[in-house]
Amino acid sequence: VKAVLANKAAHNHFELAPAMRRHHKVVGERDKRGLSVQQGRARSEQIRRESLAVEHSQQGRTNSFVDGRFGENDESMPLEDKLIRRFQCERQRQIRGSKFSLMDDGETGIQELTHAGRSLGEMDALA
């Protein structure tokens, strides 16, 4: 009986034949191509650095100057109209900037202190 069991154990195909493929990836195992994971990462990083760094450094650069002045590219507009249009746009820009200014037009820049809507100077005169 022992001889029969020993003979069966020797002919177990699962023990004799190596597995055709592995079911789980083993961490740290070398790839079949011979590259380790670190070498592959370093190579892909180098490729990215060579291609994307050049694009990033060139981003926003152009080989031409764009003249954004009003009427500059319009040959049919007379010079006086160009100057008037530029002046109008400049005034609009100033108005937009001063929209939230705390000082009213015509003030000297010195703000008057008040209490309950009455000037503090008036209150001193009354007291």
Assigned domain for 23 exists: no
Between 104 and 36, the higher pLDDT residue? 36
Domain span holding position 75 = 70-97
Assigned domain for 78 exists: yes
Assigned domain for 80 exists: yes
Quick one: which of 114, 116, 94, 118 has its CA closest to 105?
Answer: 94
How far does Cα 40 stand from its chain's mean position? 28
Between 17 and 76, the higher pLDDT residue? 76
Say if CB 71 and CB 77 are below 8 A apart.
yes
Say if CB 69 and CB 89 are below 8 A apart.
no
Assigned domain for 83 exists: yes
Is pLDDT above 60 for 49? yes
DSSP state of 29: P
Is pLDDT above 70 for 10? no
Between 25 and 7, the higher pLDDT residue? 25
> How many domains is the chain partitioned into structurally?
1
Which pTM value belongs to this model? 0.32
**pLDDT tens by residue, 75-105:** 888 889 988 988 998 999 888 888 777 666 5
The single-letter code of the amino acid at 57 is S
Assigned domain for 77 exists: yes
Dihedral angle of Cα 23, 24, 30, 31, to the nearest 10 degrees? 60
